Amino acid sequence: MYRTCEVMENRPVCEGFMRVKLAVGDMAKGALPGQFVMVKCWEGNAPFFMRPFSVNNADASAGTMDLLYKIVGCGTGLMQKLAPGSEMRVMGPLGSSFKIEAGAARIALIGRGVGAAPMRYLAQKAAQGGIAVHVYLSASKEEYLFDKAAYERLGCKVNTTVDPARLVTAYFEADLARHRFDAAYVCGSNRLMRDIKRLMDTYRFAGYASLEEHMACGIGACKGCVCTVRDENGDEHYEKVCKEGPVFAIERLVK
């Protein structure tokens, strides 16, 4: 789906980070946790490519979608200047989504910094389904622990760390010794993914990761965002993060 959407809000979250709320109509009904959209808010071909952003939150009844973004270059610099009433062209929702196991009772969401942007929508969907949600966030600064208050309002149990010597997965590992988790969901760091895979081997829960790659087209045509995965026989091959991903079962990833 491709459409022109109205900017409802575009406000700073902290220095260098913004959240934009878009009126996307029925696009919000089709959005699933873990999916992304491609956006463009400028005329002409500079920048040439649309920019990809995870769905931070979506409200089907209101027809809105939130995107959390870091101001890092020309595209996001132009996004930063958008005022309410401005227009943004949006393509999506795209890619695969986080799988919530049937009958799941307790899940873990693990993320770092702005890489954890898709976790908020996943927490909302899981909490609405009566699933106990444990959230583990890490960042270099307190202000980069994005959406902490939103998780708490949803009733999630939230653990955070800004100590580089203290991995947030240490909190998860301690909880694994006390509780049974059905699945863990990771994004924002390859190191986190590798550590979750280690815990999966010990505690036997399902694991899913959202990968971050540079994307030009968002639909698998340019093949510029490939990653290496294993098939059911253990043989390695390439898949496109925008098309087959961005969400993959962790045991399939070659990291």
Alpha-helical (H) ranges within 112-221 are 119-128, 148-153, 168-176, 190-203
Question: If you average pLDDT over every residue of the chain, what do you get?
Answer: 94
Helix (H) or strand (E) holding 248: strand 247-249
171 or 165, higher pLDDT = 171
Widest CA span of the chain, in angstroms? Answer: 56
Instruction: Report how far apart, in Å, the C-alpha atoms of 219 and of each of 47, 131, 223, 255 are.
Output: 18, 32, 9, 23
Mean pLDDT across 3-12: 97
Mean pLDDT across 145-165: 96
Q: How confident is the model at residue 253 (pLDDT cuts 50, 70, 90)?
A: very high
Q: How confident is the model at residue 118 (pLDDT cuts 50, 70, 90)?
A: very high
Mean pLDDT across 62-82: 96
Q: How confident is the model at residue 157 (pLDDT cuts 50, 70, 90)?
A: very high
pLDDT tens digit sequence for 100-117: 988 999 999 999 999 999
Query: Which domains are present in the chain?
Result: 2-94 (2.40.30.10), 98-206 (3.40.50.80), 211-255 (2.10.240.10)
pLDDT tens digit sequence for 179-237: 999 999 999 678 888 999 999 999 999 999 999 888 889 999 998 899 999 998 889 99
Helix (H) or strand (E) holding 29: helix 27-30
Given a cut of 90, is residue 241 above it in pLDDT? yes
Strands (E), 95-193: 106-112, 132-138, 157-161, 183-187
Question: What is the model's pLDDT at position 13?
Answer: 97
Instruction: Report how far apart, in Å, the C-alpha atoms of 108 and of each of 1, 29, 52, 74 are.
Output: 31, 25, 25, 35
Q: How confident is the model at residue 119 (pLDDT cuts 50, 70, 90)?
A: very high
User: For 253, which DSSP code?
Assistant: B
Q: Is 87 helix (H, G, I), strand (E, B) or coil?
A: strand
Q: What percent of the chain has pLDDT over 90?
A: 85
Q: What is the dihedral of CA 37, 3, 244, 167, to 10 degrees?
A: 10
Name the residue with tokens 């934009």. 20
Q: What percent of the chain has pLDDT over 70?
A: 100
